[in-house]
Every structure is written in C-alpha cells, then in structure tokens.
Chains A and B, each alone.
Chain A
C-alpha cells in the first residue's frame, strides 16, 4: 500500500486544446508502490467509412465531461480497489491524423487491475462522457480523359458528426 504523506490516490482530468503528452500522463500516475501503469492512447485514423480523413474536431460540454469522468473513476475504484492513480487527458479542437485525441493511464500494484480499469475507462467514456467529434473527410471523384486514364477531382470536403456505438441514444 502506498501510504506516503501527501500522496493520496489521484483522480486527474484534463481537457485541453494543446497536443497531448503520453509522458505527462504516465508521470501523473506513477507511484513507488505500483508495479504497473497501463496506458491507452486513442489516435486519429486516416480513414472513416471508406473515405480519407483530413481531420477530427472535438467539442465538449466541459463541466459535465469532468463530472462524468469522475463518476467513471468512482466505478473504477469500487471494481478495482487496488487502483492507485487515474488520469485522463482528452484533446479538444482539431486533432490531425496520427495524433492522440485521448490518453488514459491507470496505476496499480499489479498489472491485472490497471489493464482492466483502462479498458473499462475508455469503453465507458465513449458511452457516457459529453464529448463529440466531427470527422472531416475528402470527397474524391474520378473522371476519364479519353484513353488517357483517370484524373482526380476533389469536391468540397465533407463533415459529419460521429456517433459512438456505445452511446445508448445513437
């Protein structure tokens, strides 16, 4: 048990427009008595529904996102009591392809609880935290010029709001 003075269990949440740092999230949950830190990083994929993704753009109902995340933390601590520190950083605004939109880290003395808690955290975040992402995709058409092969035309980019399958009202 980690009983150092001033080092109680930490429940950390950050919503930011800045680029996320895995190192920062990992350091936030590091604890001398914990042998495991489990980290999940969600990144922007370059494809969505068969189209090329140009960007994701996130918005949040920030105070409620904070309170819903803290409810998830309460669930985690009840189900996996050995969990020590929990940290979620979620990016808002535009997130370019391959960059992280969410990083979740959990520390525990042994790896099983941290691994399961992180899995639970991302699944429940997708179902219950009021954050939305708009997916900007490229609409590409082709036309044939005589016998000279295909040329590409780029229409105006499309945007649509994604819906998580985990969300009950999707």
Chain B
C-alpha cells in the first residue's frame, strides 16, 4: 500500500535537489533508510549528504536506519542536514 506525503528540503538538501517542497508517493510502511532511498532515487545528488543527514517525520527526528516509519496521506517528511541555529 502506498501513500502520498509532502517532502520538505532545507539548507544544503534544497540546493542539491533544486526544490524546497514536493509531493511524493511512497509505501505507507517502510524503514527510514528506505524512505531516504526513495528520495535519493528521485534526486541522486542527495547522496552527497548521506552520513550527515536525518529525516523528520511529522516533525519528529528519525535517524536513517532500520526503524519502521508508518506514513499516512498528507504526512510531512523533511530532510534535515546538520543544524546551525543560534
């Protein structure tokens, strides 16, 4: 089963993809690494920041790995490069 989510790109990741926001269709249950993989498939340049990136799903941080992510239509996913606030 698939679902449609909004993906937001920030900072370096927005420069690499050339977009700040898009809608993508992904499986509704997958690992965080698989979710990342589907974004890289659409935007190969994103692989440049592998190792220095996490995701946010429904505004909660998710590291790239085996943890299962459940997604519903309209959920918000964000690509989060290393922070530099303050």
A133 to B86, CA, bound (A): 9
A44 to B77, CA, bound (A): 31
B10 touches A126 (CB 8 A): no
- How many residues belonging to A are interface residues under a CB distance threshold of 8 Å? 31
A133 to B85, CA, bound (A): 6
Q: B72 at the A/B interface (Cβ < 8 Å)?
A: no
Residues from chain B with Cβ under 8 Å of A131 in the complex: 83-86
With CB as the reference atom, state the residue of chain B lying closest to A63: B59
Closest Cβ of chain B: how far from A43's Cβ, in Å? 11
B12 touches A128 (CB 8 A): no
Q: A67 at the A/B interface (Cβ < 8 Å)?
A: yes
A90 to B83, CA, bound (A): 14
Convert B46-58 into 0s and 1s, putting 1 for each residue whose CB lies closer than 8 angstroms to a CB of A: 0000001110100
User: Which of B10, B52, B53, B63 sits near A132, CB closer than 8 Å?
Assistant: B10
A130-B78, A169-B53, A169-B63 known; A59 and B11 CB under 8 Å? yes
Closest Cβ of chain B: how far from A1's Cβ, in Å? 31
A138 to B3, CA, bound (A): 46
Q: A134 at the A/B interface (Cβ < 8 Å)?
A: yes
Q: B81 at the A/B interface (Cβ < 8 Å)?
A: yes
A128 touches B11 (CB 8 A): no
A167 to B12, CA, bound (A): 15
10 A-B contact pairs sorted by A residue (CB < 8 Å): A58-B85, A59-B11, A63-B59, A102-B85, A129-B83, A130-B83, A131-B83, A131-B86, A166-B83, A170-B82
Given contact pairs A59-B11, A128-B61, a sample of 15 additional A-B residue pairs in the complex whose CB atoms are under 8 Å apart: A59-B10, A125-B85, A126-B84, A126-B86, A127-B83, A129-B83, A129-B86, A131-B86, A132-B10, A132-B81, A161-B11, A169-B53, A169-B54, A169-B63, A170-B82
The 7 closest A-B pairs by CB, nearest first: A131-B85, A163-B82, A170-B82, A132-B11, A162-B84, A64-B59, A167-B83
